[in-house]
Structure 1
Amino acid sequence: MKKTILFITCLSAMVSALLGLQSCNLDVTPTDRYTDITVWGDVENAKLYLYDQYAVLNTFSFGRFPIGYSNSTDALTDLIKFTSTLSGNGTANMIAFNPSSITATSPTFAYWADGYKNIFAINNFLDGTQKYNTFADSTTKNLYHAEARFLRAYVYLWLVKLHGSVILLDKPVFDNNNVRSSEDDCWNFIANDLAFAARYLPETRPTAELGRAKGAAYGLLARTWLYAASIAEYDKKQFNSDLLTGVPEGKKSAYYKNAANAAEAVMAMEGKGIFQLLPKYSDVFYTKNNKEIILGFNFVRPSLTHTIDRDFSPPSDIPTYGAMGVPTAELADAFEMADGRKFSWNDPTMAANPYSGRESRFYATILYNGASWKGRQINTATGFEGYVDYGTQTEPKKTVTGYYIRKYLDSTNTDALRNASDQQYIDIRYAEILLIYAEAAAKTGQFGKGKSALDKVRKRAGLPESKAKNEEELMAAVEHERIVELAFEGHRYWDLRRWRKAHIVLDNMRVHGHKPVADGKGGFTYQLVDSDKQNRYFASNTYYIPLPVAEIVNNPKLTQIQGW
């Protein structure tokens, strides 16, 4: 069965050179550089130029953005605690404790320059192939323009998630005299690009062209409309008075409906055998190019790898590395019992054996005291992998919560320093689509359909149906499922932002751990510990990240977002 996974590999040096290409008109063709006719007059060169743009997906792989470390996005929330107190490995902590470090001079969440470099390159492709009639027929042109517009939408989605109101460009503009568009116009611009992509991309592609297909376009479109609808519902101009930020509240129902429709388009492909939930949750992350993955980024040893195993494995795997970030008690406690009961430390039976009888996703996500890993039992009570209090060591490289990460780690990788890692990064998968649909359907009066989609995700985890009886309860169930189903996939921080709950959940809070204490009978009790030692804060003005001051200086028509 043909699948829809995106393969990215290292391309030729020529393609890298093309990224700096600018339009020019010459009487002769130089032999010492790449010119318009060199690229756009040759179909294969034009394709190589486009393929190189897919590398943008790696910018955001494994929740690395904005800090540059895998899982750093979730470390800004209640899911992961970074163990270091130093700048670099501990930067996520510094931002969580002190969001005032985010300024217009030093935005921290810096993607503006790189994002517009990507947009210029994509617009250059669209403009150049149109001008030089690169593709022989309209069908082929529409296909490759659909890919390009998908990528442009992907880049803009990140810019708008950060800033709300940004500059919209559909041509390779060379001047610095451009104004910001309204946030509503920005969401619609992204949606239009994705609708075009969904219209002209095929449902499946040959093996050599996997991933550049209709499902990815509809999946990203569903995510886009869900974000736009959430802003329309929850923002209400509470956090920023800028005239160009925010989405009119009256548009929320239409945008939720758009999100549901796009999700339904992906769900319809399940009946055609294109997408499905894998029977076993853990297989999703270790079976490359499987049917649950809608958009992914492939790594191939030795030329293109990452460092998940090196940076997050328990320290006995790699003594000089590992344990950069560890799961919190808040996340561990969110996983239910296998029979669907809520886990509680106040239940004596559960507390006596807290890691027994939990739902399957718990064991696929977290390594706990006593867990089996690479032929040994994890011991977070004493020894080399034992718990340490956060802050007592600057770079402990061991757990400060009593837990280690399991999800995405390769249990067969016995030498991560030499081998690095090649696990596939998953950007969109079918379970997320079902949860998008559950949320959007609930918001548009289709409670039954929404609950059915959510229960499908729960059923794969071996859990009973949700007990939600109304929209409010279903939304709570959706948030819960997005926490446990999508943990360490980089969604939590952006969910809290779009729901405008970050200042409620993350402000004046601390994450915790469970320290194992020997009970003298061969077992353990677990002591709740403070793993932050100070409060976290979320500044409400950071719902809209400031534009870089340098860009405003260079562009006389660009104004800063009010409040910055």
Structure 2
Amino acid sequence: MKINKLINIKNACLLAGAMVAMNGCKIDITPPDRYTEGTIFANPANMEQYIFGMYSEFKTFAFGEFPIGYSGNTDGLTDLLKYTSMVSGNGTINVLATDASRVNAASPHLNYWGTGYTRIRRLNEFIHGLYNYAKVDEATRNRYEAEARFIRGYVYFWLVKLHGSVILLDNLDQYSVYRRERSSEEDCYKFIANDFAFAAANLPKEWTSAGTGRATKGAAFGMLARTWLYAASIAEYDRKQFNDDPLTGIPAANAQTYYTNAAQASDSVIQLANEGYYRLENNYADAFTNKNTKEALFKLDFVSPNVTHNYDLGFAPKGDYPDATLVYGVPTAELVDEYEMADGSDFSWGDNVKAANPYANREPRFYASILYNGAAWKGRTINTTPGSVEGWIQYGSTTEPKTTVTGYYARKMLTQTATNFPQVKSTQSWSEMRYAEVLLINAEAKTKINKLEEARTSLLAVRDRVDLPVTNAVTPEQMMIAIEHERIVELAFEGHRYWDLRRWRKAHIVLNDVKFHGHKVTPNGATFKYEVVDADDTNREFTPSLYYMPIITSELQANLGLSQIKPW
């Protein structure tokens, strides 16, 4: 692969060098509408435009989505969210959740390889230009490089979550090598960690208002903590049980070191919070609707009419706009039952008092996340009884129901004021990382290195925000049960659950040979009857081979030095 030589200002992209042969003579003249690398990097405005464009990669996974021919929240592959459609596209999530054979090298579905490496190439070109052409002081160059490596680390993090072992590229000279093999999973995580560590060392704690949306020191430390937590989890839980690829897996002996790294990185964010840069919102719902929230370490802002999204169109209850809403995914009964009572006790359908009025006296995150039968919403009362406008129907009874198949709708990240979203779309911000997640990372990492009281302190901070008591866990095993529960309810619909189950190597247990459920609500005199119903028409299927997704065949054909992930 050649180093790109020319730049088109309109697209802020480096394009291939131009060399024209005419009558046997080489003409080396730059076309008037193109600029050399030296010219582009000599102009600060162009450099700003270039790096701004790179941040668009975060939109790929906003709102928990994964691009699989269309966008779908990966929580739909888990016990938290049930997708309603049975047709290809809107219903692809259901296909993948119930038929592991649909994933293969020719069509892996969860495929980011080509898109990810295209972005990595652009970022490496930017870093190359910084060092070879830019006329900036060292501090400015380091800051630009830090931004580029923050984004590159994020792209690689997604590739490694999928495949474990991928090709590492950090300079343009490497592109001249035609045959390139994958690096080990451990080296991949170290590479990502190095990118985030460099970013943390060279990014500012905060930007002026003109720099809103750019990566900060806290965001980099947060991503670093997330990276080390994943590496540590793979080291502890994988133990080469699920494939024999020589490049996947991380030695179990290194788990403690990587948990310690995760704890230290998350401690750095907590220190920044103590300095006033971050805090949990007093009201949980505000973390998703307040554009000025200090809970977000890194977020994407949307502004009408040019920068918008379709979250409301996809997830708002049918009664919001009966002829337009799509109702992609709806909460499962399994998720609803996870939410505790307001006093911190467990909800149970076996308790006659609680079961008689199951949506009363639940903890605040329940009301901020779930729309249920009887919930107040946009001046009306949600009615999920069969036959109503937004009522329950049995999954599978129609291919594209556009209503709930579990008796619930997702409320989290929706706003009461969005009434004409089919026309003007939506503008809620997306937080790629929240301070609450950092506290949960800290709690998990501290648990694993046997600092249980420090872990309890971080876990309590998350629970105290919603007036729940501290966990009574006294062993690491009990603490991990509490942390898993907290990650389910705190991070619901944010796209973490599928990847948590994968890194804990629990997906083949939790997501295999099981159906998930809903609650059918029907009138029963002056009250209601609640019936557990299947939200799946066939059992879920997650085989151990899915812990490492195959590399798409076309990439193997393009790089003859690249081997497929075993056993694919």
So what's the TM-score if we normalise by structure 1?
0.95
Measured in 2, the distance between the counterparts of 1:56 and 1:21 equals 19
Measured in 1, the distance between the counterparts of 2:334 and 2:75 equals 13
Counterpart check, 1:203 vs 2:205? yes
Query: Structure 1 residues 52 and 367 mapped into 2: Cα distance closer, same or farther (>3 Å)?
Result: same
1:146 paired residue number: 146
- Contact residue 164 and residue 548 of structure 2 kept, 8 A: yes
1:298 to 298, 301, 309: 301
1:344 paired residue number: 348
1:30 paired residue number: 31
Q: What are the ranges of 5 or more consecutive residues in structure 2 without an aligned counterpart?
A: 1-6, 20-26
Secondary structure of 1:87's counterpart equals: coil
Task: For residues 20-48 of structure 1, give each alpha carbon's deviation from its aligned partner in whole angstroms, at most 9, with x where no partner exists.
Answer: 52467995432132432232232221221
1:18 to 7, 12, 23: 12
2:181 paired residue number: 179
2:240 to 224, 237, 245: 237
Measured in 1, the distance between the counterparts of 2:364 and 2:185 equals 40
Measured in 2, the distance between the counterparts of 1:105 and 1:315 equals 37
1:377 paired residue number: 381
Secondary structure of 2:233's counterpart equals: helix
Q: What are the ranges of 5 or more consecutive residues in structure 1 without an aligned counterpart?
A: 1-12
Deviation at 1:171, TM superposition (A): 1.2
2:442 paired residue number: 437
Task: For residues 38-86 of structure 1, give each alpha carbon's deviation from its aligned partner in whole angstroms, at most 9, with x where no partner exists.
Answer: 3223222122111100000000111110436555200000001111111
Measured in 1, the distance between the counterparts of 2:15 and 2:265 equals 35
Amino acid corresponding to residue 514 of structure 2 in structure 1: M
Measured in 1, the distance between the counterparts of 2:17 and 2:248 equals 33
Measured in 2, the distance between the counterparts of 1:421 and 1:246 equals 41
Secondary structure of 1:316's counterpart equals: helix
Once the two structures are overlaid, the 10-residue window that deviates more, 540-549 or 23-32, is 23-32
- Contact residue 8 and residue 34 of structure 2 kept, 8 A: no
Measured in 2, the distance between the counterparts of 1:135 and 1:237 equals 49
2:254 paired residue number: 251
1:543 to 534, 544, 547: 547
Amino acid corresponding to residue 124 of structure 2 in structure 1: N
Deviation at 1:322, TM superposition (A): 3.0
2:331 to 314, 324, 327: 327
Counterpart check, 1:84 vs 2:85? yes
Task: For residues 178-237 of structure 1, give each alpha carbon's deviation from its aligned partner in whole angstroms, at most 9, with x where no partner exists.
Answer: 111000000000001111110011111111113321011000000000000000000000
Counterpart check, 1:556 vs 2:560? yes
Secondary structure of 1:254's counterpart equals: helix
Deviation at 1:175, TM superposition (A): 4.8
Measured in 1, the distance between the counterparts of 2:224 and 2:75 equals 23
2:500 paired residue number: 495
Deviation at 1:263, TM superposition (A): 0.1
Task: For residues 237-295 of structure 1, give each alpha carbon's deviation from its aligned partner in whole angstroms, at most 9, with x where no partner exists.
Answer: 00110100011111000000000000000000111110001111011110013100001
Amino acid corresponding to residue 168 of structure 1 in structure 2: L
Deviation at 1:128, TM superposition (A): 1.3
- Contact residue 100 and residue 539 of structure 1 kept, 8 A: no
- Contact residue 16 and residue 52 of structure 1 kept, 8 A: no
Secondary structure of 2:374's counterpart equals: coil
Percent of pairs with identical residues: 51
Q: In the TM superposition, what are the counterparts of 1:520-539 in structure 2 within 5 Å?
A: 520=525, 522-539=526-543
Measured in 2, the distance between the counterparts of 1:139 and 1:57 equals 25
Measured in 2, the distance between the counterparts of 1:491 and 1:15 equals 38
Deviation at 1:543, TM superposition (A): 0.5
- Contact residue 511 and residue 530 of structure 1 kept, 8 A: yes
Secondary structure of 1:145's counterpart equals: helix
Task: For residues 528-559 of structure 1, give each alpha carbon's deviation from its aligned partner in whole angstroms, at most 9, with x where no partner exists.
Answer: 00110210000110100011111111111111
Deviation at 1:18, TM superposition (A): 3.2
Measured in 2, the distance between the counterparts of 1:234 and 1:413 equals 43
Deviation at 1:399, TM superposition (A): 0.7
Counterpart check, 1:513 vs 2:512? no
Amino acid corresponding to residue 151 of structure 2 in structure 1: L
Query: Structure 1 residues 14 and 366 mapped into 2: Cα distance closer, same or farther (>3 Å)?
Result: farther
Measured in 2, the distance between the counterparts of 1:96 and 1:186 equals 28
Q: In the TM superposition, what are the counterparts of 1:94-493 in structure 2 within 5 Å?
A: 94-132=95-133, 134-172=134-172, 173-210=175-212, 211-320=214-323, 321-381=325-385, 382-493=387-498
Query: Structure 1 residues 512 and 524 mapped into 2: Cα distance closer, same or farther (>3 Å)?
Result: same
Query: Structure 1 residues 70 and 327 mapped into 2: Cα distance closer, same or farther (>3 Å)?
Result: farther
Measured in 2, the distance between the counterparts of 1:353 and 1:72 equals 30
Amino acid corresponding to residue 194 of structure 1 in structure 2: F
Once the two structures are overlaid, the 10-residue window that deviates more, 276-285 or 209-218, is 209-218
- Contact residue 8 and residue 14 of structure 2 kept, 8 A: no
1:9 paired residue number: none
Query: Structure 1 residues 402 and 473 mapped into 2: Cα distance closer, same or farther (>3 Å)?
Result: same
Task: For residues 289-347 of structure 1, give each alpha carbon's deviation from its aligned partner in whole angstroms, at most 9, with x where no partner exists.
Answer: 31000011111111111111111111111213232211000000000000000000000
Once the two structures are overlaid, the 10-residue window that deviates more, 171-180 or 491-500, is 171-180
Query: Structure 1 residues 15 and 246 mapped into 2: Cα distance closer, same or farther (>3 Å)?
Result: farther
- Contact residue 21 and residue 35 of structure 1 kept, 8 A: no
Q: CA RMSD in A?
A: 1.5
Measured in 1, the distance between the counterparts of 2:276 and 2:469 equals 25
Measured in 1, the distance between the counterparts of 2:71 and 2:378 equals 22
Amino acid corresponding to residue 248 of structure 1 in structure 2: P
Measured in 1, the distance between the counterparts of 2:79 and 2:218 equals 31
Amino acid corresponding to residue 465 of structure 1 in structure 2: V
Query: Structure 1 residues 68 and 440 mapped into 2: Cα distance closer, same or farther (>3 Å)?
Result: farther
Deviation at 1:474, TM superposition (A): 0.5
2:59 paired residue number: 58
Deviation at 1:136, TM superposition (A): 2.3
Secondary structure of 2:15's counterpart equals: coil
- Contact residue 203 and residue 213 of structure 1 kept, 8 A: yes
- Contact residue 78 and residue 330 of structure 1 kept, 8 A: yes
Measured in 1, the distance between the counterparts of 2:265 and 2:492 equals 24
Task: For residues 490-533 of structure 1, give each alpha carbon's deviation from its aligned partner in whole angstroms, at most 9, with x where no partner exists.
Answer: 0000000000000010001111011012112x210100001102
